[in-house]
Structure 1
């Protein structure tokens, strides 16, 4: 009986690469808010004077980081994503961003990664609020390889930065292809009928949906992974969308202020008149149990619903959420999730 291949999560691949940078940079400091990880133990062991745990006190986490940054340190702070973004938002706004300090906020559990924990642990509004802060750069990675590549870039950048990592170990998107982290986005697949612009875990959903749309409807569908949400590389995005008929944005995030809003705002500013549909979480809190897959299926974020909405929209229908009963015929179970 075969065993399931272990996939090292993006947080841990990032930490492994960051550890190498800490070996070279005595000014690097790590502060956690009572969150650990096997790959984090090496920091506590080998850099005891540069590793701190403040406990469940996120406001203190940010205040301490800012004091160290003012003294010339490169500071990394780490907590569950909703706690490092929402719980200490005022401190991040005034102490980190207004002072333009070299602090990297690391949040694990983007979207519905902490599925059964409910709204207190869901992170589906962080892009909306964090991108409103001047000076702050935002990253949302799709796999461990890209997360590992990100470490050196953020370490040598003196800007305030926020990284949202998924909790799970996701299949590698970039295992056999290069990635230019500095570019901010990658065209994973080209397509002239439609392009799905996406980020994070939804990159995997988008690639599967593109395959199914080609198999079932003959559509030539492109996929773009926007891993740097702010600042958006508009020049590169415009190049990849050249000669594309339609655009779909796909995100595991509230539609208000997320990736879809970001792309729509950019298109308006650039006077790009292109049919566009946003797919994401509508205006609600989610209290449902059953796991991430169940949440996606109920609220139209699973592969089947995404394919159905896009296919209907291409046929001139409304794009409302509908179910596709026979996705299994294409080799993908209804509600595929990672």
Structure 2
């Protein structure tokens, strides 16, 4: 099976053939995947070199001309390093484009902390009107990329990862999907953490929602799911900074007594390179760690 990033290159190359409004801007990362597309569309595949602020600036300039730019590099270089340009060249200018990242929170541990971005979604939450997609499988990535490319002048972030679930789910670029129903609470699994959540909650009497589009946050689906449960206890399991979406869940349930537990990447930097699975376990995002924390949270509610 190809990776999400490989699917991004092949799908976007085809989209460039189909839609003359699309353009791709790169910063040396991912150039090989667009070599053929660059030969066919030299005016719409631009490599600015290792200049991430320029990557976003060129994308914003292309958007001002009426094109729909798709900008790609590691998440830490796409959202964090050029954040001022994202804020001004897109938000302030009122134009749209698509940011497509690689690396996620810790996909390449040997790259060190410079190539990790657990805070990317939280950072974009400080800006207005960004749609955020977090696919959990290359097929989902393709569907969401096509959705983002065709999304008019919207501002969209597509967060790709080498982590992937064993099978794709149907995605529509908007709503959470309900995979299990239960009475003791609701667990929201985001993107590539779905398989771990399903394994962790096996045998538990909980509802499991699957989220691949996290902004806008599907508060209606969460409200409907908590309506099935005996208590409005919610666990959010996100592949980025823990607690990133807790305020959105709290807002959705503001008129109901409820509790929310946000699980995700911890704030403490793990300074040993290790392997991806070791980082998952260290942050408690492997099935064993998730089961302990989810069960503990729900048990504490039963004892209260």
With structure 1 as the length reference, what TM-score do the two structures score?
A: 0.82
Q: Distance in 2 between matches of 1:295 and 1:180?
A: 28
Counterpart of 2:158 in structure 1 is 163
CA contact (8 A) 2:31 2:47 kept: no
Q: Which residue pairs with 1:332 in the alignment?
A: none
> Hey, what does 2:258 align to over in structure 1?
274
Deviations 1:96-152 (A, max 9, x none): 112221211111111221223222111110111102111221111111111111122
| Alignment partner of 1:236 is 2:231 | no
Corresponding residue of 1:119: 113
Match of 1:131 among 112, 125, 130: 125
Residues 235-276 of structure 1: CA deviation (Å, up to 9, x unaligned): 2332233212322111232225x13343234333xx232232
- The 3 A distance-change label for structure 1 pair 262 and 46 is same
SS at match of 2:228: coil
- Aligned-residue CA RMSD (Å): 2.1
The structure-2 alpha-carbon separation of the partners of 1:8 and 1:250, relative to structure 1 and needing over 3 Å to count, comes to same
Structure 2 counterpart of 1:313, from 291, 297, 304: 297
Preserved contact between residue 249 and residue 277 of structure 1 (Cα < 8 Å): yes
Q: Which whole-Å CA distance do the structure 2 matches of 1:308 and 1:30 have between them?
A: 44
Instruction: For residue 139 of structure 2, give the secondary structure of its aligned residue in structure 1.
Output: helix
The answer to whether the 8 A contact 1:210-1:222 is kept is no
Match in the other structure for 2:249: 263
Work out which of the residue numbers 163, 166, 191 in structure 2 matches 1:200: 191
| Distance of 1:114 and 1:272 partners within structure 2 | 41
- CA 1:236/1:100 → structure 2, altered by over 3 Å: closer, same or farther? farther
Contact kept in structure 1, 2:73 and 2:102, CA below 8 Å: yes
**Structure-2 separation of matches of 1:243 and 1:311:** 19
1:21 and 2:6 are equivalent in the alignment: no
Partner residue of 1:224 out of 206, 209, 214: 209
Provide TM-score, normalisation by structure 2: 0.90
Query: Is the CA contact 1:185–1:227 (under 8 Å) kept in the aligned structure 2?
Result: yes
Q: Unaligned stretches of 5+ in structure 1?
A: 1-6, 319-338
Deviating more after overlay: 144-153 vs 275-284: 275-284
Distance across 2 between alignment mates of 1:51 and 1:125: 29
Separation in 2 of the partners of 1:308 and 1:297?
12
Partner of 2:234: 247
Change in Cα spacing, 1:64 to 1:288, as seen in structure 2 (3 Å) is same
- The 1:13/1:187 distance shift into structure 2, 3 A limit, reads farther
| Deviations 1:299-332 (CA, angstroms, capped at 9, x unpaired) | 32221111112222333289xxxxxxxxxxxxxx
Partner of 1:210: 201
Q: How many residues matched?
A: 299
Change (3 A) 1:259 1:118: farther
